[in-house]
Structure 1
Amino acid sequence: MELADNRPRWRQVHEIITARIKDGTYPPGTRVPSVVQLQNEFSIANVTAQKVHRQLRADGLVYTEPGMGSFVTQKPQA
């Protein structure tokens, strides 16, 4: 996937993952891509991928289980 517009990369990736959650690509309870997976898929830095995860948690879209990963909340916000 190519990120080419002028918005920050973390914001672009965040919007893509948010859309995938809302359209059911990642249904409630499923694991979302890890920081490393985001780095590989979008060719972004570790710190950028971490920011995506932090924002998804702040938005209430995912929760993190230490040692297990991040998962879509049961009721993603619209």
Structure 2
Amino acid sequence: MSIELDETRPKWRQVADIMRARIADGTYPPGARIPAVIALTSEFGIALATAQKATRALRDEGLIRTEIGMGSYVTGRPPRASSD
């Protein structure tokens, strides 16, 4: 079963947002391996290129690092919004 995504927003952004939230809440703690792009295609019902674009966004933000042939791993957590 895949997660329902909003058809009015780019799917890769929504997937990246969900993955970012999972990193922030500790579902994927620092050092943990995140699901492979193939697993993301199944979970979210998206194309391979869409999953790759979502993980590339997280990598560009410095939230994950990718080891060729090994997978992608969490490097840190996004800052939480200030409650000031």
Give TM class, smaller chain.
Answer: over 0.9
After superposing on structure 2, the runs of 4+ consecutive aligned residues of structure 1 that deviate more than 6 Å are none
Structure 1: distance between partners of 2:13 and 2:27: 19
Which structure is larger by alpha-carbon Rg, 1 or 2? 2
Identity percentage over the alignment? Answer: 57
TM-score (norm 1): 0.93
Pairwise CA RMSD: 0.9
User: Unaligned stretches of 5+ in structure 1?
Assistant: none
Equivalenced residue count is 77
Q: What is residue 12 of structure 1 aligned with on the other side?
A: 14
Q: SS where residue 66 of structure 2 aligns?
A: strand
Per-residue CA distance 1:11-67 (angstroms, 9 max, x = gap): 000000000000000000000111100000000001000001110100110001111
Q: What is residue 77 of structure 1 aligned with on the other side?
A: 78
Structure 2: distance between partners of 1:77 and 1:6: 25
TM-score (norm 2): 0.87
User: Unaligned stretches of 5+ in structure 2?
Assistant: 80-84
**Would you say the 8 A contact 2:23–2:78 is kept in 1?**
no
Letter in 2 for 1:21: I
